[in-house]
Chain A
Amino acid sequence: MKMTGAQILIECLKREGVEVMFGYPGGQVLPLFDKIYDTDIKFILVRHEQGAAHAADGYARATGKPGVCIATSGPGATNLVTGIANAFMDSIPMVAITGQVKSYLIGNDAFQEADVTGITRPITKHNFLVKDVKDLARTMREAFYIASTGRPGPVLIDVPSDVQMAETEYIWPERVEIRSYNPTYFGHPGQIKKAAKMIQASKKPVVYAGGGIISSSAHLVLREFAERIQAPVTWTLMGIGGFPATNKLSLGMLGMHGTGYANHAITASDLIIAVGARFDDRVTGRLDAFAPKAKVIHIDIDPSSISKNIRVDIPIVGDARNILGELLEQMKKTPDTSSWLLEIDALKKKYPMRYNKDGNKIKPQYVIEQIDEVTGGNAIITTEVGQNQMWAAQWYKYNQPRTFISSGGLGTMGFGFPAAMGAKIGYPDKIVFDIAGDGSIQMNIQELATCICNKINVKIAILNNGYLGMVRQWQELFYKKRYSHTCLTGPDFVKLAESFGAAGIRVTKKEDVRQAIEKAIAIDNTVLIDFHIEPEENVFPMVPAGEAINTMIEGLA
């Protein structure tokens, strides 16, 4: 059947099972938007293209399905860039479709022209410029395949407007084969046997779980594995929810703002079993002091993650879920970790997670604890970046994967709110909270209009301290309290929310916190809660940048 390029794009999106796309129109996507007008696929019109990319990302993180965003050429596409880079750093499957100037104008500095495949080359898993409509269907198929297989990531397709208008026979390629792209899913049997032996011989194993647990849906087998070998489990920011926080083997998050007991357990451990994690500098601190007594087994689908930052004893390339399953089969004998678990208990007593509860001011940790209690730990929490993110990571107990959605690698302020929209569209029946700071929320606040127009009832909890809190914290601790440009004078957030048609609640007293959360959930609308918190509260514990992870600033004397 003959179709235009724009029709082919829509047909391909349908065939890929896309149920929602986020985007913004413009000159070079007019042919595509003309077809979007007729399609059943839900289209969410954002107010800034960055919002579209983050919303697609949030949708992908919540559902595991590739998120789709669409923008026009030039500025539309460059506005997606931060969102694409964000998805790239956290290995999130996403397909971005951008319009491009007519193919015969490319390179002419045409109106709204930018070299978008050039700009996005280092921040996509792969990208395409489609110059011939005959290549479009195959390219779309490959884009979704590449985005969602192996180590997932964003793929961008740049489509000149004349290609959107050109006609060709539409043929859906049933099979997709890329000779140069063959991810490894199953671990090398010899390596797995060696790893099993090493685990059996260990006395102080620690499982260090990353985002790979979430993307490979390895959470159940991880739990079975940890319980079988009786090893404590710590996780990265990206691994939150991959292991139940309330499980007795849980150590919480490790690294810069990890728990003291996780960091001390790593330091004392004789075997680190890293699964789908990449030994990021925020996790390891000073490299030569990270897990100094331990051998390392590293399971990852991306060979380039292995031995990049630290020396690995047994690398196993493949899918985390498969390999943990294969390892379990090899675990005829399990190590005796009883005395190690006693040592862990002692560490938990010695370095408990705590904060100063004195005084009348609202503590941000308390707000998070209350959101946890009121939602029974069943909400999807998204975060912005900075103190709000770390408190959300530390004080909410995540027991399910895909319930904590946060910008890990890139650390993008302004991510949480549009990501919450995406998550809410993926899970309309779930309560979705964006834990925000008064700085971050202003980076994509325009999306309130998107929420109202599309009845996306997310809840925003601003931990308002009048500062860019995390930067201020570093200035306090490492720059002699010289608060250079970190003090913010915010808008009246309640009025701001109301002006968009959302509900706004201001909370200035500790005793009103819980009630405000309950009220926000009860209101059938987008709700913004402006919590006025202790302005100079810090995130602790904290490993100063470049220090050993067992040299933590505790915060409380």
Chain B
Amino acid sequence: MKHTISVLVENKFGVLARVAGLFSARGYNIASLAVSETLDASISYMTIVVDAKDETVLEQIKKQLNKLIDVITVTDFTKKTHVERELALVKINYVAKDKAKIASVLKKYVAKIVHSKANTAIIEAVGEEEQIKALLESLGKFGIKELIRTGKIAITIGG
């Protein structure tokens, strides 16, 4: 089962390798990983979607992450109200006869064309994983040429 966790780490050389190495050494799966700086330049924020077969494995992942010296806090979003988003850039066939249909799909999913040239358009979509998935299904019939997705990022509500 997939779980989203965030990891606040010291913004230091090699920290990503420590986190990634932990997952590979202990046989845990990373479904996605997003890393960025925070307001405090000395801290980086990692959002990791992990695939854990049960609660025990998830607990171990969190404990092992906490054990890394450079990890400041680990937050499990599974039981926390939170907002999560991912971003997709989708390159699709964009021919005259489909333009109106594509426009209505984009309207439904609050996505937009950020670039178009000849018979190709690049669409930017932001949303929860399920929304992105649904959008991609809808766009599939027009012909997707290329697809890039970021990992998920998440933030807790309130506080």
Contacts and interface: CB of A to CB of B under 8 A. Distances in A.
Interface of A: 117-118, 121-122, 125-126, 129, 131, 146, 178-181, 302-304, 307-308
Contacts of B70: 126, 180
B20 to A, nearest CB: 10
Interface stretch (B57-65, B80-88, B147-155): B57-65
B71 A180 contact: yes
A179 B9 CA distance: 11
Interface in B31-73: 56, 59-60, 63-64, 66-67, 69-72
Contacts of B17: 118, 121
Given A117-B14, A129-B13, A181 B21 contact: no
Contacts of A125: 69
Contacts of B14: 117, 121, 129
Interface of B: 9-10, 13-14, 17-18, 21-22, 25, 56, 59-60, 63-64, 66-67, 69-72
Contact of B64 (A117, A129, A304, A307): A304
Nearest to B9: A180
B25 A308 contact: no
A126 B14 CA distance: 11
B112 to A, nearest CB: 40
A507 B25 CA distance: 46
A307 B59 contact: yes
Contacts of B13: 129, 131
B21 A178 contact: no
B69 A303 contact: no
A379 to B, nearest CB: 36
B60 A179 contact: no
A302 B60 CA distance: 12
Nearest to B56: A307
Given A121-B18, A122-B25, A180-B10, A146 B60 contact: no
A356 to B, nearest CB: 43
A429 B138 CA distance: 81
Given A121-B17, A179-B72, A180-B72, 20 more contacts: A118-B17, A121-B14, A121-B18, A122-B22, A126-B69, A129-B13, A131-B13, A180-B10, A180-B69, A180-B70, A180-B71, A181-B69, A303-B63, A303-B67, A304-B60, A304-B63, A304-B64, A304-B67, A307-B56, A307-B59
Contacts, number: 37
Contacts of A302: 67
B60 A178 contact: no
Contacts of B64: 304
A181 B10 CA distance: 11
Nearest to A151: B67
A140 to B, nearest CB: 15
Contacts of A181: 69
A419 to B, nearest CB: 26
Contacts of B71: 180
10 contacts: A122-B25, A125-B69, A126-B69, A178-B69, A180-B9, A180-B10, A303-B66, A303-B67, A304-B63, A307-B59
Nearest to A126: B69
Contacts of A122: 21-22, 25
Contacts of A303: 63, 66-67
A4 to B, nearest CB: 23
A146 B69 contact: yes
A181 B73 CA distance: 10
Q: Which of B9, B59, B71 has the most CB atoms of chain A within a 10 A radius of its CB? A: B59
A179 B69 CA distance: 9
Nearest to A117: B14
Contacts of B60: 304, 308
B142 to A, nearest CB: 45
Contacts of B25: 122
A152 to B, nearest CB: 13
B53 to A, nearest CB: 15
A117 B15 CA distance: 12
Nearest to B22: A122
